Structure 1
Amino acid sequence: MPHGRASAAGPVRTPLALVLAAIAVLVVLVAVVSCARGNSEDAGRTQRLPKYYSAADLLTAVTQRQHTDRTAHLRLSGQVDAADGGPTTLGGDGALRVEQGGGISAQFTQTLSPPGRDPQSTAFVVLHGGQVWRQDGTGWTRVDEAATGTPEKNLATTAANVVAGADPTAHLSRYRDAALVADAADDTVDDVPTVRYLVVVDVVRAAELEQDPEVRDALRAQAAAGVTRISSTLWIDAANRPLRSETRQTMPGIGTLALTSDYRDWGAPVAIASPGAAA
């Protein structure tokens, strides 16, 4: 081939030119991969929710959010393991309101399905402070708190404990100095990203701090029976709103209540009657 002419296949490339071209391709590939990895890491960072590893910090974050929203719709499901019988399935729908001084009031329809019997549905209003009102054919009637052992009293006791269990910060606020966050893990509730918190209360420590004599005696009795921890699980979204809670508690004379509470539409208007005002 004559000197200085290119072949029909294209220009002649020297080894140095080939090396430089390869380096250029490698630089482009590294840049592309690094960019993709950076975008992926940025996306992961934006999807991660903040986590609280202190019970006090978790309580503060959720309480501030609740006192801003104040209201939510409530869906309940669970089971009562009676001390003298089989398990009773529990369900319910209603609404709750977070009170300014702490605690919640709720209005809901509670459905109990004892084994071998037809389901029994009863509408309740449980006001912060412990008042329980039951709806009958004539309106709202306050349940006689002194009528211990009666079916009506048992229904009311269950309703009051359901509301106590439905309060997503009940264990944290009452036993904050005896509670710890045992686990905080990413999770979802109905496809909504959440952080699932396992909160554990030291029963012995809680009994030492409890000011109510009856509650203190009950805690001491649990500790003496070998129940040294009370655990609850709480699912919190990116705005620190509770979306779900799971609790388990003992109702003296009735049995053990295992309850799952789902919260929706925080901040939406709800109607909670005030039967005591008209009584």
Structure 2
Amino acid sequence: MRRPLLATTSVLLLTALGACSGGAAPSSSAPATSSAATSAAAAAKLTNVTEFVTAVNAAMLAKKTVHLSTAAADSRKPAESAKTKTQLRFEEGGKVSSLLVAEDGEGKTTVVQLPTEFFLQTADNEKETPGKPWRQVKAGGDDLFSKVMTPVVVRMTEASDPSRGIAHFGTAGQFDAPVPEQVDGVAATKYTITVDYAKVVAATTDKFVKGNFESKIKLNRSALKHEVWLDANNLPLRWRATESGKVEFTSTVDAKFQDWGKPVEIAAPPAAQIGVSAG
């Protein structure tokens, strides 16, 4: 559990740290311009942050479900990459259910988030209680496992929710002029929004968010650039977030979105497979 979970959490938080509180949908895509993309994407062009957040959020919520894959890389360790595959379902009342599977060089971690429950599956759990690889993380629970893992799992699942990835855009984001491009042959519009960490610190009242950004600033990291590609219906196709500053490296998270509106399989694990942590 330790390294895969913590590594995945850190890279997902990188995407979430462009946000202040629930905002609109993220997305992104790999560049590849084409004249065919111009006319198809032009009709969907958004001209400012407010339009962007409103339109993308509405488009995502209308579809309700999505599958996405994410890869995170650090220029200091180009051979290493933490990868995740996630299914999301937007529920009533602003809730999100998700199934997230994270893999890196040391193993696989699976997280199920339901509106009121969290479950965690790791190889360490299986070794500790054979046949019962799952643990339930109880928000507000008194057991040590829940106390330690609740904030990690909550932030991890929040970070995998694209509707939270751009909430800081309005108060701390620089909005560049959109340009037509393609994503895997699909006409798209690319939006670039760069979030200034100092501006986020000045604007947010969320202690967790403020503390994270202040820590980054102390480490000479100053901004997170979001490159977001939307289709003609303002749905995310791909989203790339790159952190920079007065440092000798960059951290990048690259996410691809597929199958908007198609069925997802998100459910609590069988009770017989849920063990109790020794801690």
TM-score, with length taken from structure 1:
0.64
Contact 1:79–1:88 at 8 Å: present in 2 too? yes
Is 2:117 the partner of 1:123? no
Corresponding residue for residue 56 of structure 1? 50
The structural deviation recorded for 1:98 is 2.5
Contact 1:110–1:121 at 8 Å: present in 2 too? yes
Contact 1:166–1:261 at 8 Å: present in 2 too? no
Is 2:208 the partner of 1:221? no
The AA in structure 2 aligned to 1:112 is D
Structure 2 CA distance for partners of 1:197 and 1:47, relative to 1, 3 Å? closer
Identity among equivalent positions (%) equals 22
Structure 2 CA distance for partners of 1:182 and 1:188, relative to 1, 3 Å? same
Contact 2:112–2:119 at 8 Å: present in 1 too? yes
Contact 1:168–1:245 at 8 Å: present in 2 too? no
Give, in whole Å, the separation in 2 of the partners of 1:256 and 1:87: 14
Is 2:81 the partner of 1:94? no
The structure number with the bigger radius of gyration is 1
The AA in structure 1 aligned to 2:136 is R
Of residues 235, 238, 259 in structure 2, which corresponds to 1:265? 259
The AA in structure 2 aligned to 1:53 is T
The structural deviation recorded for 1:167 is 3.2
The structural deviation recorded for 1:146 is 4.1
Is 2:233 the partner of 1:242? no
Is 2:167 the partner of 1:173? yes
Contact 2:101–2:108 at 8 Å: present in 1 too? yes
Give, in whole Å, the separation in 2 of the partners of 1:66 and 1:104: 12
Superposition RMSD in Å: 3.7
Other structure's SS at 2:162 match: coil
Of stretches 236-245 and 46-55 in structure 1, the one that deviates more from structure 2 is 46-55
Contact 2:41–2:189 at 8 Å: present in 1 too? no
The structural deviation recorded for 1:175 is 4.6
Stretches of structure 1 lacking an aligned partner (at least 5 in a row): 1-40, 114-118, 148-152
The AA in structure 1 aligned to 2:72 is G
Give, in whole Å, the separation in 2 of the partners of 1:180 and 1:164: 23
Corresponding residue for residue 10 of structure 2? none
Structure 2 CA distance for partners of 1:79 and 1:216, relative to 1, 3 Å? same
The structural deviation recorded for 1:180 is 3.1
Is 2:190 the partner of 1:196? yes
The AA in structure 1 aligned to 2:101 is T
The AA in structure 1 aligned to 2:87 is A
Structure 2 CA distance for partners of 1:258 and 1:101, relative to 1, 3 Å? farther
Aligned positions, number: 219
Structure 2 CA distance for partners of 1:259 and 1:46, relative to 1, 3 Å? closer
Give, in whole Å, the separation in 1 of the partners of 2:74 and 2:159: 13
Give, in whole Å, the separation in 2 of the partners of 1:171 and 1:92: 16
Stretches of structure 2 lacking an aligned partner (at least 5 in a row): 1-34, 138-144, 275-279
Structure 2 CA distance for partners of 1:210 and 1:46, relative to 1, 3 Å? closer
Of residues 110, 129, 134 in structure 2, which corresponds to 1:140? 134
Contact 2:40–2:232 at 8 Å: present in 1 too? no
Structure 2 CA distance for partners of 1:210 and 1:101, relative to 1, 3 Å? farther
Corresponding residue for residue 70 of structure 1? 64
Give, in whole Å, the separation in 2 of the partners of 1:242 and 1:87: 27
Give, in whole Å, the separation in 2 of the partners of 1:216 and 1:130: 27
Structure 2 CA distance for partners of 1:200 and 1:225, relative to 1, 3 Å? same
The AA in structure 1 aligned to 2:98 is A
Give, in whole Å, the separation in 2 of the partners of 1:46 and 1:249: 31
The AA in structure 1 aligned to 2:58 is Q
Give, in whole Å, the separation in 2 of the partners of 1:277 and 1:198: 45
The structural deviation recorded for 1:267 is 0.7
